[in-house]
Structure 1
Amino acid sequence: MVYDHKIYLIGATGNIGRPLVRKLLSNPKVSLTLFARSPAKVQEIYGNQPAGKLQIVQGDHENLKPFEDSIAGHTRLFLLIQANSFKNSERIVRSFAEKAYASGIQQVVLISGICTNMSWRSNVIAEAGYNWENAVNSIPNRRAFVTLRPAYFMSNQLGTDALSIKSSNKIIDTRGLESPKAWISPNDIGELAAIILQEPIEKHEDAVYDMVGDPKTPKEHAEILSRVLGREIVYEKVTDEQCYDMMTKQAGMPHALAYTMLYLSKELEYDHVSPGLSVLLGRQPETLEQWIEKNKNSFL
């Protein structure tokens, strides 16, 4: 079968990638190429597809030759860097984007982060996002470049929140009881990326879209969990020192990232949904309660 559009995806096997790929696969006019470390994992996630619908290219961030050999003929690139650290990540983003544009790619869609809105070098996550975006934006004679800046992923709850809920029926943070946390569903991130990758390139051009889907205070978060799980879940506010020790000593988080998470708990606050997000999605963004309901087995 001949497809009208070929889209190349990097970083599309996780919580954002799955809804993105499934939405794109539902379009009979689109074929996909996935760049992944493990073709077997991609095959397991997405199963068998019609001939030519889904191609898998094995590769990683350190060896771009498989990418260079397979990018020709595609019109758009989705780029999500899943780096173990921020070191060299700017170079990786730049290399992928440069080679993509040189091959004829007309649009790059990059997943950055809402911290990029903060002052330059205010924290390592903000700096990384700024560097990624600038790495693409500064490419000479580049074509369209769309950036998504999501806030806190709802899927982050599957880490420490799930553990403390299962063991102690509580969630833990340094945030004040009435201090909102800016949640966004990874389903919404993936779906918005898929929408942009299928709509006319000139519609979005060089747009930057913030993504806050459902800000909730710790009090509201605990109430939602209690309601969905059918048992009382409470919020425990801890000190910065206690939280830092949990992140570094128990979770093995490096200092720079743990310190940044403490910083963001006080400095990154949004009390409203991103204006226009429902226009972009064509529906209301997924709520925290809806997401928890879909994933409640992970907290039981």
Structure 2
Amino acid sequence: MKKMIVVTSAAGHTGSIIVDALVKRGLPVIATDLNPTVKQLPGIERAIVGDLTQLDVQLEIISAADILIYIPPLFSSEEALIGNSLIDLAAEAKLQQFIFMSVTHPILSSLLQHTAKRDVEEHLIYTGMRTQLPYTILQPMHYMHNFDPLAVKRSGKYRIFYSLDGAVAYVDPIDVAEVVLNVLAEPAKHNKATYELVGTAPYTPKELVTRFNAVTGEHAVAEYVPVEQFLDDIGAQDLYFRTGFKHLADSYSQWGLDGNVTVLTMLLGRDPTTFEDYLVRTLAK
């Protein structure tokens, strides 16, 4: 019997890409999300619609899983509680594999969503040593889909909430999904490993737009938008969400965010997807 794989936050951008990669590989997937559109993901065995802050939802997820791919909800004030509880339940149920989608440099205290993941990583490592729960921690860099080339082409602007000189590295979520498949294929090889998944050198918003214009022949510009205005424009009302975005704006403006591409290159067995490759693929849709 095939191992059942449960993916959380599966209706999100990264989650849906990972689910698609699993389904195309012929693997059985249960997709779960608070968003009921998770039911529409093609090829899944079934969907679980529910709030990860609720114990009964977590118990349903764990009871359905042989393998859990835990993608945290975006900017949840209860993120650390959610993750730690799922780890405890997974260890008690003796899941065969726990893959945690963390973030590059969770040790950075200037980023709200990083510190929550740091706490979950710590709990997972301690639990793995105590119970021998098999786990792998993946630490993706800033995702390429945060630059939407179709929107930039329509508007002629890349509106961004941090300094136009703040340099941030990127990773293609499709590359991350490929790493997930490789980890699932050889769980013992990747047990208790932590992998930093960085796909590119750091680029400023101005450099991203320059590369976009070189690929497309457009004349788009990068436009700085104060973070409070940006949050108002997207209708963000949740206080934790707004605070997390302010942390991003401050941290990226002061230091940027980068890392090293070597680990991802080794895991893929090829060079990571370039920003230009991502642009061409996305614009061709």
Task: Report the TM range for the smaller structure's normalisation.
Answer: 0.7 to 0.9
Q: Percent identity?
A: 21
| Equivalent residue number for residue 295 of structure 1 | 282
The amino acid of 1:33's aligned partner reads I
Q: CA deviation at 1:11?
A: 1.8
| Equivalent residue number for residue 7 of structure 1 | 5
When Rg is computed on C-alpha atoms for both structures, the one with the higher figure is 1
The amino acid of 2:30's aligned partner reads T
The amino acid of 1:37's aligned partner reads L
Cα 1:245–1:62 shift into 2, 3 Å = closer
For the 8 Å contact 1:57–1:67, the answer to whether it is kept is no
Q: Does residue 244 in structure 1 map to residue 233 in structure 2?
A: no
| Equivalent residue number for residue 263 of structure 1 | 250
Cα 1:98–1:257 shift into 2, 3 Å = same
Paired with 2:66 and 2:8, the residues of 1 have a C-alpha distance of 14
What RMSD over aligned residues (CA atoms) do the two structures have, in Å? 2.8
| Equivalent residue number for residue 45 of structure 1 | 41
TM-score of the pair, normalised by structure 1: 0.79
Cα 1:92–1:264 shift into 2, 3 Å = same
Paired with 1:31 and 1:231, the residues of 2 have a C-alpha distance of 42
| Unaligned stretches of 5+ residues in structure 2 | none
For the 8 Å contact 2:150–2:283, the answer to whether it is kept is no
For the 8 Å contact 1:9–1:34, the answer to whether it is kept is yes
| Equivalent residue number for residue 103 of structure 2 | 113
Paired with 2:164 and 2:64, the residues of 1 have a C-alpha distance of 51
Give the counterpart of 1:283 among 267, 270, 282. 270
Q: Does residue 233 in structure 1 map to residue 220 in structure 2?
A: yes
SS in 2 for 1:42: helix
Q: CA deviation at 1:285?
A: 1.4
Q: CA deviation at 1:248?
A: 3.7
For the 8 Å contact 1:73–1:104, the answer to whether it is kept is no
Deviations 1:77-131 (A, max 9, x none): 1001114x4322111111112112211213211111114142xx33312312212
The amino acid of 1:113's aligned partner reads V
Paired with 1:20 and 1:263, the residues of 2 have a C-alpha distance of 30
| Unaligned stretches of 5+ residues in structure 1 | none
Q: CA deviation at 1:249?
A: 3.6
Where do 1:183-198 residues align within 5 Å? 183-198=170-185
Where do 1:64-103 residues align within 5 Å? 64-69=55-60, 71-72=62-63, 74-83=65-74, 85-103=75-93
TM-score of the pair, normalised by structure 2: 0.83
For the 8 Å contact 1:68–1:99, the answer to whether it is kept is yes
